[in-house]
Amino acid sequence: MSALIRTEPGSLVLRASAGVSGRVHTRTILGCAVMLLLTGAVTVLALMLGSVRYSPAEVLQALFSDAPGTAELFVVQWRLPRAVAAVVFGAALGAAGAIFQSLTRNPLGSPDIIGFTAGASAGGVAVVALVGSGYAVVAGGALLGGFVVAVLVMLLSRGGGAGGFRLIIVGLGLSAMLASLESWFILTADLDIAQVAAVWGVGSLNGIGFEHSGPALVLSLLALAGSGLLGRRLGLLDLGDDLSAGLGVPPSGTRVAGVAAGVVLVALVTAATGPIAFVALAAPHVGRWIARSAGASLGPAALAGALILASADLLAQHAVPGHSLPVGVVTVAVGGLYLITLLIRENRKGTL
Amino acid sequence: MSEAATRQPLAEGAAPGTGTGRRPNMPLVLAGIGAALVCAVLLSVFVGTERVAPDRVSAVLIGTGDREAHVLVWEYRVPRTLVAVAVGAALGAAGALIQAYTRNPLADPGILGVNAGAALGVSLAVWAGASASVTALVWPALAGACLATVAVLLLASTGRGPATPVRMTLAGVALAAVLGGLATGMRLIDPQTFERYRSWAAGSVAGRSPSDLAEVAPYLLIGLVAAVALVRSLNAVALGEDVASSLGVSPRRTRLLTILAVTMLVGAATAVAGPIGFLGLMVPHACRLLVGNDQTRVIPLSILMAPVVLLLADTVARVIVPLREVPVGIVTAFIGAPVLIWLVRDRKVNTQ
């Protein structure tokens, strides 16, 4: 099989003999490369900083060759799981956000706004407060809660039109109900359990280790790869249901697959870390902005998600000296600010 | 100002047939709500977690009766009922005011982030070492509520055209997210703050003493008086700022007074009872269905009707889970969120 790569002004065209071809804009490639480099830099920084500081050379030595035992302990066993988790989970959230925004045709249609995250969070907190905090049970509770709420929101907002306004308000209402339920679970539980549930309910990467997060990481990577296959179909859906059907891709099939992929991605992450807010909202926007790509563009969204979550976690660990905050606190505050600027920008355009 | 001019339906939120068409019988409605309030008060005094026979309670009320029942009624149920009446009136008035001023049928102190502002103020105060008593918390709550009210009104009014319901709602969500994130971060750093905060955060009228109420009574009174004084100005502003000016109503003064009243009402109510959501959303809608869109009727009626709803919700909260009280904020969220969803589904809200 021979492949041919041709350059055209502003884009690369790839042709393989098996009838496969594609066109990628140079700006997209450059943007993705930049995000990848930045994510790498943030990750190395996350491995360097902490109660014991290492130079980049020491970090690389600890990672790739034999290093003195202590550096290996700090870098590989303590800091690496968290850094890897931030990157992988961020990518999963970013991709999930892109899928949901593409399905709802709404730049605000992220899992946070439509109530999925709140459902997963309430499910998880209920399990932590009432049953126990093992990964499998919490994951089950989060998955169930998130899925039920996602279905409810979709059903209740049916017929709301393309604007998706109803979707947002319905999601908001259900989120408020679930948040109040969650606060009751926290209230009734013992203080220790309540605090575990509360930290989980904010979304945290604290104390994450490969033995706990390993399955979630592997499954997230698999789900990411799976949803990568959806990218082209989502792109067709962006053109409209009729055109998509006319080109031989039934839109209903794309929708079902998209919802399934998005739900699985968010639920995997939420079960491992708790609901991390607003990454799924912001990452697709940032990805589209940096890569100048149009439509769903899962790749840039996933890269942007990884960059955002890795940076937010770095900030959460070191912003307040002596305290390692849950990363969800940072993403909710920064993401809320981002939503505000987004609103101001949309207001200026008069589109809302 | 003629009655006909003031009965102009609001831009949004007016269901056909509730505005100018039907002439509601105001005295009848008032009498009905008054009777409902009396019933709700009695119900709140007679029903509780501890089962006390009705004849023992009535014996206490007419001055005889045994000591246990006496303590239970006068030291627990009556103060609680009074607090619920005051908080309900405040939140109902605040909801009606904010809906009338913003002409946004989805406006509610909870949805617009005013509660979150008060909660942040309280978190800051508790973190800085203030005790969780109402005296210490009322000023931080007022300051936070004021900040959030001004911020959300400013945010929604940036850009082109009038602030649409979508824009305001999203501005509220974003603001609540930022403020909530900050408050959560603070609570999680310090477990003691967390412990003191969590009982306050769910929203409850239980265990409040008459002196707590006396502490915030001045602010509540100022807010209620301002709300009643504003009815004519709000009717005029509903016709547009130019018409309002030509009718001798200063839009600027109206705005300042509205912000002041909402701040006082929400801040004081939140300082006593914690954040109670959705009451300010539901009650004005119910009132509008009964008497149309004239603020001279909606606002006083909301002040009367909201305590009824809160008292009933609180009574349900006492008995719904055997031997364990549910904070009333959870009950109001569970009644209110479906109302919100119904409002959007029933196209009562103009989305454009």
Q: Are A14 and A24 in contact (CB under 8 A)?
A: yes
Q: Report all structural domains of chain A as residue ranges with CATH numbers, in order of start.
A: 30-349 (1.10.3470.10)
Q: What is the 3-state secondary structure (H, E, C) of B106-160?
A: CCCCCCCCHHHHHHHHHHHHHHCCCCCCHHHHHHHHHHHHHHHHHHHHHHHHCCC
Q: Are B145 and B117 in contact (CB under 8 A)?
A: yes
Region A226-246 average pLDDT: 77
Q: Which residue did the predictor score with more confidence, A13 or B285?
A: B285
**Complex-level ipTM beyond the 0.85 threshold:** no
Measured CA to CA, the distance from residue B305 to residue B313 in angstroms comes to 13
Question: B215-242: per-residue pLDDT in tens?
Answer: 888 889 999 999 989 888 888 887 877 8
Mutate to test the interface with A, among B173, B276, B331, B339 (most CBs of A within 10 A): B173
What residue ranges do the domains of chain B occupy? 24-345
Distances from the Cα of A287 to the Cα of A28, A91, A117, A205, angstroms? 9, 11, 21, 23
A191 contacts B195? CB cut-off 8 A: yes
Residue A23 DSSP SS3: strand
Domain boundaries B24-345, corresponding CATH code: 1.10.3470.10
* CB-CB under 8 Å, A195 with B194: yes
CA A7, CA B164: separation in Å to the nearest integer?
A: 47
Q: How confident is the model at residue B14 (pLDDT cuts 50, 70, 90)?
A: very low
Judged by CB atoms closer than 8 Å, whether chains meet at B110 and A176 is answered as yes
Cβ of B340 within 8 Å of Cβ of A335? The answer is no
Give the chain A residue whose CA is nearest to the CA of B338: A173
Q: Tell me how close the Cα of B117 comes to any Cα of chain A, in angstroms.
A: 13
3-state secondary structure A80-144: HHHHHHHHHHHHHHHHHHHHHHHHHCCCCCCCCCCCHHHHHHHHHHHHHHHCCCCHHHHHHHHHH
Has this prediction a pTM greater than 0.90? no
Residues B337-352 have pLDDT tens digits of 888 888 777 655 554 3
Give the model confidence (pLDDT) of A300-320 as tens digits: 889 999 999 999 988 888 877
Nearest CA in chain A to B165: A352
Q: Are A176 and B333 an interchain contact pair (Cβ–Cβ within 8 Å)?
A: yes
For A91-143, write each residue's pLDDT tens digit. 999 999 988 888 877 777 788 777 788 888 888 888 887 777 777 788 788 88
pLDDT digits (tens, 9 = 90+) for B28-57: 888 889 999 999 998 888 887 777 777 777
The alpha-helical segments, DSSP class H, found in chain A are 26-48, 56-64, 69-72, 80-104, 116-130, 135-156, 165-188, 191-202, 210-228, 231-238, 241-246, 251-273, 279-291, 298-318, 327-349
Cα gap B180→B184, rounded to integer Å? 6
**A103 vs A227: CA distance, rounded Å:** 13
